[in-house]
């Protein structure tokens, strides 16, 4: 039974990874592909350059309330699916990244097309250190599957990253981060709004000290940049969100 559950989790997380990579690739292509000017001719002289056409910027089309087939989940569908997925038991027993009642919401995606239009919602329960997957039938609005497993660590949510940042700024290595910021930028760190922060999920390595539980616990390694400026080295600082502790790798 455990093997079957892990395979289902691994399959689901693999779909998430492939989707994220594909989206990144499309965005990168659009960012780097410069469109050619309509009507331009190779080798034309600068004197014959035509005036660039003007294109109107119409208002965006309103998002549909519901998708079809394998369309991405709409905002409305995600909202309704989350309301169904957060059962009274899950809301009462699970804990989020702040320690408040209810699991930490991570993400939602459409299930594989062959299984019909179903939403798969991912949460992290800090009370049990388990990843929770809730499957909701989008059409009927019913919860049709609920799974949980320890040791699975998908990418962090924005709230988790901000919680990790706040733990660092309030913890024993805050001075180190401030000193590194000042050295890199030539000015003092005024506060958290001076930082642009993303993160990697961190798993303990055999030689780690102070972060041995990472992997079973939810841990992050921050990527820190000064707003409009350079990156700040914080790779040696590990934040254990489950234990709400901060450690330095040696």
Based on the domain organization, do 206 and 241 belong to the same domain? yes
Domain enclosing residue 190, as ranges:
158-248
Do 175 and 133 belong together in one domain?
no
Is residue 31 domain-resident?
no
List the CATH number of the domain containing 114.
Answer: 3.10.450.40
Q: Are residues 76 and 188 in the same domain?
A: no
Residuewise pLDDT in 10s, the chain (250 residues): 333 333 343 434 333 433 333 333 333 333 333 333 333 333 444 444 445 555 555 556 666 656 565 678 998 999 999 999 999 999 999 999 999 999 999 999 998 767 678 999 999 999 999 999 999 999 899 999 999 999 999 999 999 999 999 999 999 999 999 999 999 999 999 999 999 999 999 999 888 887 899 999 999 999 999 999 999 999 999 999 999 999 998 7
In a domain, 132, yes or no: yes
Regarding whether 83 and 142 lie in a shared domain, the answer is yes
- 238 and 204, same structural domain? yes
Asked which of 152, 187, 219 is the last residue of a domain, the reply is: 152
Q: CA-CA distance, 120 to 221, in Å (whole number)?
A: 27
Show which of 129, 152, 175 is a domain's final residue: 152
Distances (CA, A) of 232 to 127, 189, 192, 195, 215: 32, 11, 13, 9, 25
Please say which residue of 152, 175, 192 terminates a domain: 152
Under a CB-based contact definition with an 8 Å cutoff, are residues 154 and 16 in contact?
yes
- Record the tokens describing residue 186, joined without a space: 């030539």
Tally of structural domains, the chain = 2
Tell me the backbone φ, ψ of residue 218, rounded to 5 degrees: -90, 110
pTM (two decimals): 0.72
- Rounded CA-CA distance 198/229 in Å is 15
Are 120 and 135 within 8 A, CB to CB? yes
Residue 101 has a pLDDT of 97
Which DSSP helix (H) or strand (E) runs through 3? helix 2-32
Q: Do 127 and 100 share a structural domain?
A: yes
Does the residue 99 lie in any domain? Answer: yes
- Residues 142 and 177 reside in one and the same domain: no
Q: Are 195 and 225 in contact (CB under 8 A)?
A: yes
**Tens of pLDDT, residues 158-188:** 999 999 999 999 999 999 999 999 999 999 9
What element of type H or E holds 198?
strand 195-201
Whole-number pLDDT of residue 112 = 73
- Strand duo 118-125 + 130-137: pairing: antiparallel
Same-domain check for residues 7 and 107: yes
> Is 57 part of a structural domain of the chain?
no
């Amino acid at each position: 039974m455990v093997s079957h559950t892990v395979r289902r989790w691994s399959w689901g997380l693999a779909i998430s990874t492939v989707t994220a990579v594909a989206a990144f690739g499309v965005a990168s292509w659009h960012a780097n592909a410069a469109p050619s000017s309509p009507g331009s001719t190779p080798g034309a002289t600068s004197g014959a350059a035509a005036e660039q056409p003007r294109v109107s910027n119409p208002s965006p089309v309103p998002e549909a309330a519901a998708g079809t087939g394998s369309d991405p989940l709409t905002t409305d569908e995600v909202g309704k699916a989350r309301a169904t997925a957060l059962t009274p038991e899950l809301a009462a027993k699970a804990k989020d990244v702040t320690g408040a009642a209810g699991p930490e919401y991570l993400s939602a995606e459409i299930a594989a097309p062959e299984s019909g239009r179903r939403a798969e919602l991912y949460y992290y329960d800090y009370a049990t250190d388990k990843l929770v997957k809730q499957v909701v039938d989008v059409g009927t609005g019913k919860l049709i599957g609920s799974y949980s497993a320890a040791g699975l660590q998908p990418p962090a949510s924005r709230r988790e990253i901000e919680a990790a940042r706040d733990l660092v700024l309030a913890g024993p290595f805050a001075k180190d981060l401030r000193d590194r910021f000042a050295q890199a930028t030539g000015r003092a760190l005024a506060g958290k709004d001076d930082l642009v922060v993303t993160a990697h999920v961190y798993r303990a390595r055999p030689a780690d000290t102070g972060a041995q539980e990472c992997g079973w616990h939810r841990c992050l390694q921050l990527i820190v940049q000064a707003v409009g400026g350079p990156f700040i080295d914080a790779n040696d600082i590990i934040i254990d969100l489950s234990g709400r502790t901060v450690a330095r790798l040696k």
